[in-house]
Amino acid sequence: MTDTESHSALREWRLHMAHPLTLTAIAGVTVILALVGPFGTITSLNTLERLAYWLLLVAGGYATGYSLSLVFLHRADGLGRHWLRVALAGGSTGLCMAVAVTLLNLVVFGRLPGKTAFPTFVATIIAISVVIMAVIDTFSRHLAPRQEARAQGDVTPPAILDRLPLDKRGALIALSVEDHYVRVHTTKGEDMILMRLADAIREVGDTQGDRVHRSHWAAFDQVTGVTRDGDRARLHMTNGADIPVSRSNIPKLKRAGLLPR
């Protein structure tokens, strides 16, 4: 990963982890686990100890999982199909968490899993991590929190959405030229429209974005990462698509804060 990619990933990680919804979710899960006390913690730890124990695991696990999702799901383009990236991200998170839980239990309880139980212990954590990663990926690809929050106000939906089937009318992600058609990517799916890209762009309304290539327009608040390729770049979008950025359009990314000036 280049310095530019690292800068972008670190900024994205900080914004996500500091978001009130993220903090609320971590706190809520921690409190529930502390009250329920699974895996024997209800009897072996008092309330404050359980809160500290589960906070370390929940916060650490989520931070690790989200970090690996940024690497595998949005920046590891050479790894092939998207489902393989999800499996690798979840499996890697599971391995990290297996080590973390083992060390934490050694410190807190002074014991390690038995040799016969250890493989099952690790496999269970990996399986849970893969499932959780798949759920996180599904939500991140099909929900657009910032645009949907704006939609709750008086913002008029982009006119181009009227051309799509009802089940495909979500927040705009990207527009791409294919022959004489424009492929419209939204958070609800995608569809082909017979029209010119320039005409389609005129119908995006108040959606924050720009034409980044002669064949592509991208919504900037749907970008999860940017990869530099010499004097060009690629945008990684929330639906898993990659949008090329031509050299002449790099300044647009800098003005949008997607690349350092």
Instruction: Describe the strand order of the beta sheet including 232-237 as a list of residue ranges.
Output: 223-229, 232-237, 242-245
- Residue of 193, 176, 189, 183 lying closest to 238 (CA atoms): 189
pLDDT at 109: 86
For the chain, the farthest-separated pair of C-alpha atoms sits apart, in whole angstroms, at 67
- Residue of 70, 129, 69, 132 lying closest to 100 (CA atoms): 129
Q: How confident is the model at residue 187 (pLDDT cuts 50, 70, 90)?
A: very high
Residues 12 and 137 in one domain: yes
Residues 85 and 185 in one domain: no
Distance separating alpha carbons of residues 19 and 214, to the nearest angstrom: 35
Backbone angles phi, psi at 188, to 5 degrees: -105, 0
* DSSP code string of 199-236: HHHTT-TT--EEEEETTEEEEGGGEEEEEEETTEEEEE
Residues 10 and 124 in one domain: yes
Residues 13 and 48 in one domain: yes
How many domains does the structure of the chain reveal? 2
**Does residue 63 have a pLDDT over 80?**
yes
Instruction: Give residue 36's domain range.
Output: 3-142
pLDDT tens, position by position, 216-252:
999 999 999 999 988 899 999 999 999 999 999 999 9
Q: Kindly state the average pLDDT of the residues 35-63.
A: 90
Return the higher-pLDDT residue of 82 and 149.
82
Among the three residues 142, 171, 187, which one is the final residue of a domain in this structure?
A: 142
Identity of the residue numbered 210: D
Q: Kindly state the average pLDDT of the residues 23-28.
A: 88
Q: What burial letters (b/e) apply to 26-55, b meaning 16+ CB within 10 Å?
A: beebbeebbeebeeebeeebeeeebbebbb
CATH number at residue 220: 2.40.50.1020
Residue at 260 is within a domain: no
Q: Kindly state the average pLDDT of the residues 7-11.
A: 64
Cβ atoms of residues 258 and 8 within 8 Å: yes
Q: How confident is the model at residue 202 (pLDDT cuts 50, 70, 90)?
A: very high
Residues 111 and 223 in one domain: no
Task: Compute the C-alpha angle 74/64/89, nearest 5°.
Answer: 45
Residues 166 and 137 in one domain: no
pLDDT tens, position by position, 116-148:
888 888 898 888 888 877 776 666 555 444 444
